[in-house]
Amino acid sequence: MNRLRTYPQAQRRQKNFLLAAISLFATMTTPMLSAEPRNPALAPELRVVGQGWNTDSNTVKRVLDSTTRAFWENLPHLQIGGPIIVHPRGGPITLLRRGPDGEIFIHLDTGDTYWSQYVFQMSHELCHVATLANNDSHADNWFEESVCEVASLYTLRKLSAVWHRNPPYPHWRDYAPRLAEYAHDRMLIRQIADDVTLADWVDDHRMQLQQNSPLRRDLFIAVANRLLPLFEQHPYHWASIQYLPTISDDDQTLERYFQIWYSNSSAQHRAFIRELVSLFGVTLEVY
Ligand SMILES: [Zn+2]
């Protein structure tokens, strides 16, 4: 259903990949150190509702607020026009339908005290919220899915550093490394070989990517692993994702998709977008 976005549970396959990918450990970077979010008051208002959290909902809200501040500090000027209503089940998914007062509805698929999974799912869905009312029916929606996978990895690694310095509860400091470990395990699910360019890899997997199957999240992870360093080095440019195109033409080329993104964006993000799309072998018409 095109009005919904979804993706499967994150955790199940990670351990199977862990041993196979162990040799890749050396290539993984460590989370960057980070200061506390600069503009926490500007993060969207969250309302944690519904049954099934299986733990204290005030604690859940604290974790999700911390997640939202960490991601949204890079989007200080993005107004979404209403609070975000978060349910524990029925997703992970962000409904494009809004409530009567502009409410945005996020359904997670988590509960209990799986805090890393909360952070992982919430940051992915916040990324979709930040792209605003993007149409997800076009052929290259895999790109947005990959970027939102980056959002999860980015936020997990960032919060790992933030919680080390200032956890939601003092006794949670010991939990901080587990956030980075969760991201690390996720990144190991699929990697593109070092001697293969992202452009060549996407050419080889274009049809599978365009199927946008929830069963092939590994493809998005592969792309995300290549994009993560760019966003970690330049988190200011997370704001560029609000300009992703809202097109639904099946004949749309990736080059055209990127060109519209560039054209829609404000001037301060254009060099970043040029650099990012160059990884896909795309040269933009610059003006
Ligand atoms: Zn998604």
* 287 residues of the chain, pLDDT tens digit each: 233 443 333 333 333 333 233 233 333 333 333 334 444 447 899 999 988 999 999 999 999 999 999 999 999 889 899 999 999 999 999 998 899 999 999 999 999 999 999 999 999 999 999 987 555 667 788 999 999 999 999 999 999 999 999 998 999 999 999 999 999 999 999 999 999 999 999 999 999 999 888 889 999 999 999 999 999 999 999 999 999 987 666 667 899 999 999 999 999 999 999 999 999 999 998 87
- Say if 139 falls within a structural domain: yes
- Say if 268 falls within a structural domain: no
Report the CATH number that the domain containing residue 47 is assigned in CATH.
3.40.390
Of residues 99, 89, 100, 154, the one with CA closest to residue 127 = 154
- Say if 282 falls within a structural domain: no
Centroid of ligand 1 to alpha carbon of 5 (angstroms): 6
- Which domain, by its residues, includes 120? 14-187
Task: Count how many domains the chain has.
Answer: 1
- Say if 37 falls within a structural domain: yes
Centroid of ligand 1 to alpha carbon of 160 (angstroms): 22
* Max intra-chain CA distance, the chain: 53
- Say if 220 falls within a structural domain: no
Centroid of ligand 1 to alpha carbon of 287 (angstroms): 31
**DSSP state letters, 167-208:** -SSGGGGGGHHHHHHHHHHHHTT----TTS-HHHHHHHHHHH
Q: Crossing angle for the helix pair 141-165 and 176-187, nearest 10 degrees?
A: 150
Of residues 259, 264, 254, the one with CA closest to residue 274 = 259
Centroid of ligand 1 to alpha carbon of 171 (angstroms): 32
Centroid of ligand 1 to alpha carbon of 65 (angstroms): 20
Surface-to-core class of residue 116, CB atoms within 10 Å of its CB (0-12 exposed, 13-18 middle, 19+ buried):
buried
Neighbours of ion ligand 1 (CB under 5 A): 5, 7, 145, 148
Q: How far apart are CA 97 and CA 108, in angstroms?
A: 16
Centroid of ligand 1 to alpha carbon of 213 (angstroms): 11
- Say if 223 falls within a structural domain: no
**Cα dist from 141 to 92, 191, 233, whole Å:** 17, 20, 24
- Say if 161 falls within a structural domain: yes
- Say if 196 falls within a structural domain: no
Backbone angle region of 97, left / alpha / beta, with phi > 0 → left and psi within -120 to 50 → alpha? beta
The answer to whether the predicted template modeling score (pTM) of the entire model surpasses 0.95 is no
